[in-house]
Amino acid sequence: MATAAYGVSFGALSVASGLSLAQTCVLSLVMFTGGSQFAVVGVIGAGGSGAAAAATAGLLGVRNGFYGLQMAPLLRERGWRRAVAAHLTIDESTAVGTAQDSPGSVRLGFWATGLAVFALWNLTTLIGALAGDAVGDPRTYGMDAAAAAAFLGLLWPRLRSLRPRAVAAGSAALAAVLIPVVPAGIPVLATVLVALAGTAIRPEQPDVRTAS
């Protein structure tokens, strides 16, 4: 429901940026990754070309490929279910799936979250697009910040130890430095380097002699 709530903001922003109702709804059906969708309407709204919008969305969407590398060996889907799982591999389904502690729970968490978000996201996209003209400029109400707020809500419970906190802080700092000087999407990809560096650092091992 929390994710669905900012589907309304996407629908309203999309219509305000010049996309039609049909284009807005199809974008949610076939792209289905909020960050990339907001990037598309942001570029179009700023007067950019379709090619620029697609390139920016593609850069942001690369993160889903990294999610797929993590989820594929956990889900072990085949055939058409594998294709559907790929489409549903987003921030929320990955976060909930990987938070579980058994193979069955991982699958349940992933599929329940992915399907629920897909259904509600598309419903609220339609509602937001229909209400767009009545709402006015969604930026006036801060609705353009809803996606970032939802992502932080998913991230916060996972910051339980020093390493993830350090990775999160380093990623935020790197993104803040890069945002003014590189194209949209690049800062998100660059933060992967911080995450890789964090996983390369081994946690400190207790001194056995001291412990004994």
Interatomic CA distance for residues 106 and 97, integer angstroms: 5
- Does position 136 have pLDDT exceeding 80, yes or no? no
d(CA 135, CA 129) in angstroms, rounded, equals 10
Query: Is 70 a residue whose pLDDT tops 60?
Result: yes
CB atoms within 10 A of CB 137: 12
pTM: 0.69
What confidence score (pLDDT) does residue 195 get? 78
Instruction: For residue range 143-170, list pLDDT tens digits in order.
Output: 656 656 666 766 777 788 888 888 888 9
The per-residue pLDDT for 138 is 61
